[in-house]
Amino acid sequence: MLQYILSFIILISIVVFIHEYRHYYFAKKYKVGVTDFSIGFGKELFGFNDKDGTRWKICAIPLGGYVKFFGDSNSASQPMSLDKIDTKHHSKLLTTKPLYQRAIIVSAGPLANFILAIIIFSIIFMTTGKDTTVPVITEVQQNSPASKAGLKSNDQITFIDDKKIQSINDVALFISTSENDQVKIEVLRNQQPFSYLVKPEKKIIKDNFGNNIQRKLIGIKISPLKGKIERQKYGPSQALYLAIKETYNTIAMTLSYIGKMITGKESADQLGGPIKIAQISGKVAEHGLVPFLSIMAYISISLGLINLFPIPLLDGGHLFFYLIEFIRGKPLSENVQIYFYKFGMAVLFSLMFFATFNDLKSLGLF
């Protein structure tokens, strides 16, 4: 349990620091005052003031962080009224900066998370390589969708829904994210190509942590071809290309899942909170640095993406306000912004409660 907690704190702290530092960097670049740079929320555990008066601190609740700009009424960068601030300090306010500068400052955090993921993936692909293991069916369960469709043991899976299988991990991924009721699976059997349409079943199974999760299954077991795990190392340019592609695909799949969840095509039970992240980070840390860095990259992508949602209090909420300001030629009134901030707080607390409830339910506490 201690390893899970420590792994979670290290992972979240690094990802959050990168995110918040880019807010801080561009704020300083455009001469916006920064009063606080915090990793965590709640009571301050320790900290220091730099020469510019910014308080750098570590707080008791390691579930995020924030940069508080001069003139903000809270850690979500909700600005105070200009008439409450001495006019000689107006030049240090975020709200007085040109629209493009404010947009850059706010968007810098999420973009930094995507860049961090790309850097991590690039390093992994150059040093330990990218998984290129060829998947082979070793068992087809009786009366399963795969059996009814005609798949057999020793079939080498080559394509799923016309997407080339480049790793053994692609098989479960492409099946679970398929948009179709029937999944097209192409195989090599005795060096001859065959194609089958398989209708997956949705079943509740146990994940590696013993949690109940819903998955699309077709009733097969797969193993590496000739029992050999393959990894291919790439040069810097190819590794960077593959890292960008991996980051893009992760974002696309996440948005697809959220869209299906909103429309009722996917269960919201798969949403997880800090407990699930702690479980995952602790588990992968047992397998070494590379798996830990990999999960850090995926968490970094998730953090960047979530922060771009157009919900007040998040970076995306601020960008949404800036878009309205650009269209209208002037910002929303202070009262309207306050209303949206309250609405955003209600939405965020609801999402946090729901994710934590899912975590506890997966542990059998509900």
Which one-letter DSSP state was computed for residue 262?
H
Q: Residue 192 and residue 181: Cα distance in Å, rounded? A: 26
216 bridge partner residues: 202
Query: Residues 35, 72, 67, 93: is their CA dihedral positive or negative?
Result: negative
Q: Residue 285 and residue 268: Cα distance in Å, rounded? A: 27
Phi and psi of 144, rounded to 5°?
-85, 165
Q: Residue 115 and residue 281: Cα distance in Å, rounded? A: 20
Rama region for 134: left / alpha / beta (φ>0; ψ in -120 to 50; rest)? beta
Is pTM beyond 0.75? Reply is: yes
Buried b / exposed e along 216-239 (16+ C-beta atoms within 10 A): bbbbbebeeeeeeeeeeebeeeeb
Q: Do the Cβ atoms of 92 and 54 come closer than 8 Å? A: no
Query: Domain 131-232 belongs to what architecture?
Result: Roll (2.30)
Quote the pLDDT of residue 330. Answer: 86
Quote the pLDDT of residue 366. Answer: 45
Residue of 20, 179, 186, 246 marked active site:
20
Residue 20 annotated in active site: yes
Quote the pLDDT of residue 279. Answer: 54
Q: Going residue by residue through the chain, which has 366 residues, state the pLDDT in tens, using 9 for 90 and above.
A: 666 778 888 888 999 999 999 999 999 999 999 999 999 988 999 999 999 899 999 998 887 899 999 877 655 556 666 666 777 777 888 888 999 999 999 999 999 999 999 999 999 999 999 988 889 999 999 999 999 999 999 999 999 999 999 888 888 888 887 888 899 999 999 999 999 999 998 876 665 555 566 678 889 999 998 788 888 999 999 999 999 999 998 888 888 877 777 776 666 555 655 555 555 555 555 667 888 888 899 889 988 988 998 888 889 988 999 999 999 988 887 778 777 877 777 777 676 665 655 555 554 544
Taking the domains of the chain in order of start, what are their residue ranges? 2-126+300-362, 131-232
Q: Looking at the chain, how many residues does it have?
A: 366
